[in-house]
Structures are given as C-alpha cells and as structure tokens.
Structure 1
Amino acid sequence: MTTVRTSPFQTLIPRRRALGIALLLGLTGLGAPVAARDTKPAKVRELHVVTSGGFTAAFHALAEKYERDTGVHIVAEHGPSMGDTPQAIPNRLARHEDADVVILARSGLDKLEQAGTVTFGTVTDLGLSKIAVAVKAGAPAPDIATADAVRNTLVNAKSVAWSDSASGVYIQSVMLDKLGIADQVRPKGRMIPATPVGQIVAQGQAEIGFQQLSELKPVKGIRIVGLLPDSLQKVTPFSAGVVAYSPHQAEARALIAYLSSPKAYPIIRDSGLEPASQKAKP
C-alpha cells in the first residue's frame, strides 16, 4: 500500500486562497453600507407660525392647502400684533416660543425686523385690511355712510368697543380726535385685549364694535354693518416675516412665498382682505 504524503506548502496554498477570498468578501461587505448611507439632512416636516387675528381666517385655509401640497405640517398659534398681554406676538417672540414665521400688522412687524427679531429682508405684505363696524345680531344698523354719520352714531351709542391691536389704536388715538368727539366717546369706550371685539358685541357687552373686517367675519351673533367710510378708513397691511432664531430659514421663506403668491389670492379675498403684491423689502 502506497502512502501519499502532503507537504506543508501544499496545505498552505488552499488556506491562503480561502483567506484571500474571505478578506475580499469582507471588504466588499464593508463598502455596501457606506455607499447606501444618506448624508442629506432630513426634510423639514413641521413649521410653527404665529399669526394675528387679521390674517387668521385666511391663514388657516391656506395652511390646509399648503400641507396637502407639500406634506409640511403647520402648527399655528395666535396673538395680537401688539399690546401688553402674554399672547401678544412680540411678547411670544421675546420668550423665544417655537416660531418660524410670524404674521401681523406691518407696523408691528417692521419694529420686530428693526430689533433683529425677524430676519432682515423677509418682510412680505400678504393682505390689506379695512376696519368694519358691527352690532349685535338683530339690532338696528346704525348709519355709518359718512364721517358725520359715524360721529352721530358714536355720540349716541351707550357703549363702544375696539381692539387693542392696530385698528383699535387708530380709533382711540386718531379717529376720535379727528371727529372731535374723543372726550365724549373715550369714557364709554373699551379697548378689548386678546379677544375678538365681535364676541364682546355678540354678548351684549358693547352696543357697537370696531375691528378689522376679516376678524369680524368669523364671529357668530353679530351683524356687520359695513366698512368705515373712506374719509375715516385706515388700511392695515398684514405681513409675514421669518423669525430670526428659526432653524428653518429656507423652509419659512418658501411658506411666505406661497402665502403671497397668486394662488393665495382667492382665499385672502374670501376672508375679507385684499391681496397685497408688495415683495419683501430689499
């Protein structure tokens, strides 16, 4: 019987070959996850917006459409454009509440931009708002056709209410003086903080109320008499800006571009505002 001897060298060759194949497969396997790894930042799926009452109705309708079109969820908070209440937008931003976009009266937004709270160059007008007059549902409609008619209506009214935002500040500090009845009306007038004036009128706490038309339209239990005459009217732009501390600057700009685009005009008109086409300040 013949015995075939295998040399150590012959045994080593297949072992080396197997080791090489295993090493090659290992390196290939290590490369696969690296090639498949996604290094792009995650897409923003949520934006926080704080809006004042004048643009609230329009914004809610537009936000629903924007969510459907983009998949970006909008979280909305509300507050007056100015005032001392905790809900006032400047006070919310001073506390650094979650906010990527703010929408409020242009005068208030300009101040926030000057203070560095809103990113410079992002301020964009969205809608133009006019002041309207309301009484409780079922009550006779007072005459507001002319400045003289408004003067007589206010003098004869038992109680009057206006907001603590842009329209109310104008009525209390400018319009009453212009009509020459400040001393007669201010003592029976109330500036309403953080609550729609229409609600105060609907509850019978004021005989007549003044506020932006877009803020009165959603309120039940009132009768909107009409807009102030042109000689007394104050048009307030409601505008949007990107919050300076927002981590989503580009996405916030995209939302503002949508809100100011022609696609938004029909909804803005339905809310009681006129669309504004002014672009962001240079």
Structure 2
Amino acid sequence: MTKLRTDGIITQDPQVISKTCELFYKHLYKSNLSTEAMEIFFNSLSNIKTISDNNKAICDSPITILDIEEAINKMKLNKSPGNDGLTSEFYKLFSKDLSCFLHKVYIESIDNNKLPPSLTQGLITLIPKPQKDILSIENWRPISLLNNDYKIIAMCLAKKLKCALNDIIDETQSGFMTGKHITNNIRLVIDILDYSDLITDNSFILFLDFYKAFDSIEHEFMFRALDIFGFGNIFKESIQTLYADANSSIKLPFGTTKRFDINRGIWQGCPLSAFLFLLPMQLLSIHFKNSSVVGLSIAGRVLSITQLADDTTLF
C-alpha cells in the first residue's frame, strides 16, 4: 500500500496512510456489543444441539507434550513468522527441547488465564482484494502474522474443537467441514432453480454477504456460543486466554503502525479461527430456522438455509 484515499483525497504521505490504517482498524476491532441484544438473541433460540460428553471431555483435557510435538510437525514450511521472527523451521529443528518448555508455558498460561505478552501480539499485513478499488482501505484484507508459539497452542486447541464440530454444525454448512465442498452449495442452488420452474408457488433465494465477517465477531458472543453448545469451562477458558490482551499493529511498506487492542474479531491467520467462526454462523442458522420463514419444501424435506462459512443463502 503506497497510496490511499482518505477524506476523498488520494495521498501518498506515509504518515497519513499509517494513521488512517491505524484508526480504521482500531475502530474495526473495538467492541460494539450490546449485552441486552445478545441476551435477547440467546433467549430466543431453541432446538440447539450440544457436543457429546466424550467430545466435551476431549476438549477439556489438558494439552500434552505429544499434542505440541504433533502441532510442530504439521507446521508448514516457508511461511512468514510473527514479529518475533522465529520460523516454523526453527521450531521443527528444536522440536524435542521446545515442546517440553512450551508445555509448561501453555499449562501455566491457561491456569492463570493470561498468555506471555509476546503470544498476544499480532502483526497485520494487508492483502488487496481482487478486482476492488485498492485506494479504499475497506478493500484490503487483514491477515495476521502470529508468532509460532501462539500458533502451536492454537493448533492444539483447534484439533480438539474440530472433533466436536460434527456434533453441532448442521449439514447445510459446507465451510471448513471435512468432506464438504463449495460445489455442494452451488449444486443445491442450481437444483432448486430447476425445481422452481416446475412449481407454481411463489419463492425466492436471498444471498447474504456480511461486512467484515471475521473481523466483526464479538468475543463475548463467541464465548457464550461455546457455553450454549455444551463446551466445558476448561476449554472455554482456554479460548478466552488466547483472546485476552490481544493486540496488533499493521505492517506497511514504510514501517508499522502503533499497537492497538483487539477487542472483537477472529484473527485471520490463526489455526483456530475457521472453526470458531462456524459457531456464530451455526447460531445464525438456528435463529433463522426458528423464525416464521417457511422455507422451500422439496420431496418432504424443508430447505431454508445453506452456508459456506459466512456466505449464506436463504430460501
């Protein structure tokens, strides 16, 4: 990013660009939660599936040295590190020694609900969205470069969470779910369009696009979602620990901005993010299915919603 439109004026001034980026993302990641609205939403829900007792026990089980070694082994090579500069290659080279050390750090952090400061720091790099006006800051996607010691604990927790998702996520969600593909949703929409030509009932298809979907998830809402889906306190507190005191700065061609707090949003670049994001999306699906919208009845089955992560289609 070497130039940006701010207040209707195109600027190449590094200080102006830096300040504009800092203020935009500082505002984006500032919590805007209405506790009253959240309570009304959760009280309106019914027919909520919860995770099995076995998966609850798996999620609540302590992180082991073996978990850490497996996470390090699965780390991809030639990836940009966080701001500490320690690469995945470094962790792989010293895996045995570091696993024991990291295990002590993670267990103590979860017990105290507080990570070491270096694990809470992200470095956001901005990627232009294809075929968008890149002079507008809204058309850049923030990808967080996270320190690998943070990503390792996130990978350990993601492995646990992934095991439980099949208990609670509907088959109408194709995003980030094993065995699902984008073509499932495309084929379904095409079939419904073909079917609509054969019936006389009035019907519609509505496609929803969420503004800054990952970046607008309220942390407290996400933690409540863990409660309502039946996750135990130990796992929930582990997730809360990862998001406590989170902060970031933005990497630009001429330096980095000042640090700012991350009080909402799910870090794009975190191994946990995709799976955590499915929880509020599933609550949206439940809320819609509990509404007065009838949906489309085909061969005795009612279809009202499909999702590919945040890409939501209503019938």
Structure with the larger strand share:
1
Structure with the larger helix share:
2
Normalised by the length of structure 1, the TM-score is 0.21
Normalised by the length of structure 2, the TM-score is 0.19
Larger radius of gyration: 1
